[in-house]
Structure 1
Amino acid sequence: MSDGGETGARVLDEAGGLRAMTGIMGIMLFLLMLAAALGLGTLGAARTLDRQLAGRLTVQVVDGDPATRDAAAARVAGVLRGLPGVARVAPVDRAALQRLVEPWLGAEAEAGALPIPALIDVDLTGEEAGDAVAAAVARAVPTARVDRHAAWMSPVSRFMTLLTGLAAALVGVLGAATLAVVVLAVRSGLDVHRGTIEVMHMLGSTDVQVARLFQRRIALDALIGGGLGGLLALVVIWLLGRQLGALGSELLGGVNLGRADWAVLLLLPLLFVGLATFAARRAVLGHLERSL
């Protein structure tokens, strides 16, 4: 039985088809980790965006007369500061606002020739206070408008949620494809070495012992290929994270991975090897029970 096991192990180690699995496993894990990183990054960014926008709104006070507009804005700001559930009231600096719109409206905006609304940024302690704020603003200045940040950024949030779902689906597809590749490789190896396996059985080897030889080979391929592919994926993910951070965008900066996300990515190669090994064992035992 020992000689049969050693012979089977040498034959499997020399099998070119199974050695090709090393590269296949590396590619599969590389793609899987990139998809997982995309999903984790967009999920974190979507949560951060929802948390930041849930309690934020902007009040616009529009009036052609600057004095009337400024008086109305001051009245609104005073009302808001006295409301429960309002954490911060910050009128937007007029000079900064004029500089912001000057590239689109021209020098007339900077000179004050065009009626630019007065803006007031408001931070709430909870999203539920938004209705009370809107009602208070309407009573103080009926022409003022309340814009909720969560409302006009909701398409971005939905898009990021969609990306997260697509990434999760891609991870599932790549996992299923990995299982299929392992099963096909094992069946091919069993067909190629059918005669050797029959000799091993005659020498006393059991189906479980034969399965161990195949799962050891698959596990080694997954460990070597997955290790290389996983390392390359981590380097690519880290470089992409640095590039996103260098853009200086709050939205894109939220796509960066946190410590928990990196921990998940580091666990993926181990799960990958375990999944491939388990699939190889089940494929061998199932095939041997049916055919030998």
Structure 2
Amino acid sequence: MLDWVRATPAERRLLPGGRMQGPTPWVIAIMMFVMVVIAAAGLSLANAAGVVSRGVENRYSVQVANGAARAPAAEAALRNAPGVAAVRPVPETEMRKTLERWLGPEGAKADLPLPALIDVDLKPGVSPQAIATKVEAAVPGARFVAHSATLKPMLRAIHSLTWVAFAIVLMIALATAAAVVLAARSALAANRPTIEVMHGVGATDDQVARLFQRRIAIDSLNGGAAGALAAGVVLLVIAGGRAAWVEDVAGGPLLTFLDLVALALLPLLGTLLATLVARIAVLRALREAL
């Protein structure tokens, strides 16, 4: 495959290129910039969803309506149940502060009835149905709610946004391939006299295509590297100057090391795609011209 991009000194003089000359590398740089930013956003969303899912996997809440008097019985049932790792009653003052943020000053009034709320962590492998049965037996009417069920709509939305981001990356890659085809055909038309001379002295279509794929490969590599570098700077600015693998507010990594490697490989993958597309487009155009 290296023969596709390798050229002799004579071939370089026939069709020079590189150093961000012409519009092609700039178009590819813009495409790569958008692609890296959107791919990083998609990977961050996927990681955030994974962190949230793992964080609430074994976490539940017990809700007791008008439970100021019945909350101790529910708490005792939870502490005596096998498989319960932690029991944390939520103070009423904390609940009223939360309501005040949502409802304003009316939410902090003492005469507003509040249910008792107890956070529960279960050990891995423990049946939540068994714990719910014990709690409901001790306190009739108590609700045993999984945090994952509460956050399920949000997680579904995050997963949808992740797939949308990856779909946009794919569409940008296809748009870049189309731009490369147009650039290759334009260069082919602009250098038609040179191609006719090469054919006249016995050059094959493969030799001609190698000239153009080399130029496209250099333009793609230069433009892709410039776009990816600019995207990396923007992502660092968005992250507040921190490294991209620091922990976010959810307690999980924003971007893992493998994510960074995948983002760094995008310019190389883009170069390979552009080279292959340029070769196919040039060979097809040469055959059509015969």
The alignment partner of 1:282 has SS state of helix
* 8 Å contact from structure 1 (residues 60, 120) kept in 2: yes
For residues 248 and 9 of structure 2, the distance between their equivalents in structure 1, rounded to whole angstroms, comes to 59
In the alignment, what sits opposite 1:21? Answer: 24
Q: 1:39 to 1:108 in 2, by over 3 A?
A: closer
- Deviation at residue 192 of structure 1 after TM alignment: 2.2
Amino acid at match of 1:40: L
- Deviation at residue 189 of structure 1 after TM alignment: 1.5
Match of 1:288 among 269, 278, 286: 286
In the alignment, what sits opposite 2:120? Answer: 122
Unmatched runs of 5 consecutive residues or more in structure 2: 1-7
In the alignment, what sits opposite 2:4? Answer: none
What TM-score, normalized to structure 1? Answer: 0.84
Q: 1:127 to 1:153 in 2, by over 3 A?
A: farther
- Deviation at residue 219 of structure 1 after TM alignment: 1.0
Unmatched runs of 5 consecutive residues or more in structure 1: 64-68
Q: 1:20 to 1:249 in 2, by over 3 A?
A: closer
Q: Which moved more, 1:224-233 or 1:205-214?
A: 205-214
For residues 43 and 82 of structure 2, the distance between their equivalents in structure 1, rounded to whole angstroms, comes to 36
For residues 225 and 249 of structure 2, the distance between their equivalents in structure 1, rounded to whole angstroms, comes to 33
For residues 240 and 58 of structure 2, the distance between their equivalents in structure 1, rounded to whole angstroms, comes to 29
- Give per-residue Cα distances to partners, 1:46-99, cap 9 Å, x unaligned: 111211222211112222xxxxx4452222122222333322111123333344
Q: 1:100 to 1:130 in 2, by over 3 A?
A: same
Give the 5 Å matches for 1:96-111: 96-102=94-100, 104=103, 106=105, 109=108
Q: 1:250 to 1:11 in 2, by over 3 A?
A: same
Q: Which moved more, 1:92-101 or 1:53-62?
A: 92-101
- Deviation at residue 268 of structure 1 after TM alignment: 0.9
In the alignment, what sits opposite 1:278? Answer: 276
Percent identity at matched positions? 42
In the alignment, what sits opposite 2:76? Answer: 78
In the alignment, what sits opposite 2:132? Answer: 134
- Deviation at residue 287 of structure 1 after TM alignment: 2.2
Match of 1:34 among 17, 28, 37: 37
* 8 Å contact from structure 1 (residues 42, 255) kept in 2: no
Q: 1:14 to 1:137 in 2, by over 3 A?
A: closer
Amino acid at match of 1:89: V
In the alignment, what sits opposite 1:51? Answer: 54
Greater helix content: 1
Q: 1:108 to 1:290 in 2, by over 3 A?
A: closer
* 8 Å contact from structure 2 (residues 65, 142) kept in 1: yes
For residues 9 and 196 of structure 2, the distance between their equivalents in structure 1, rounded to whole angstroms, comes to 14
Match of 2:145 among 144, 147, 164: 147
For residues 129 and 170 of structure 2, the distance between their equivalents in structure 1, rounded to whole angstroms, comes to 42
For residues 275 and 38 of structure 2, the distance between their equivalents in structure 1, rounded to whole angstroms, comes to 22
For residues 154 and 250 of structure 1, the distance between their equivalents in structure 2, rounded to whole angstroms, comes to 19
Q: Does 1:90 align with 2:88?
A: yes
The alignment partner of 1:120 has SS state of strand
In the alignment, what sits opposite 1:66? Answer: none
* 8 Å contact from structure 2 (residues 62, 118) kept in 1: yes
What TM-score, normalized to structure 2? Answer: 0.85
Q: Does 1:220 align with 2:218?
A: yes
In the alignment, what sits opposite 1:258? Answer: 256
For residues 225 and 219 of structure 1, the distance between their equivalents in structure 2, rounded to whole angstroms, comes to 10
Amino acid at match of 1:193: N
For residues 289 and 184 of structure 1, the distance between their equivalents in structure 2, rounded to whole angstroms, comes to 17
* 8 Å contact from structure 1 (residues 86, 129) kept in 2: no
- Give per-residue Cα distances to partners, 1:6-61, cap 9 Å, x unaligned: 6764453379x972101011011111111211111111111112112222111122
For residues 151 and 277 of structure 2, the distance between their equivalents in structure 1, rounded to whole angstroms, comes to 44
* 8 Å contact from structure 1 (residues 76, 141) kept in 2: yes
- Deviation at residue 131 of structure 1 after TM alignment: 1.9
For residues 256 and 29 of structure 1, the distance between their equivalents in structure 2, rounded to whole angstroms, comes to 21
* 8 Å contact from structure 1 (residues 54, 127) kept in 2: no
- Deviation at residue 148 of structure 1 after TM alignment: 1.9
For residues 109 and 188 of structure 1, the distance between their equivalents in structure 2, rounded to whole angstroms, comes to 70
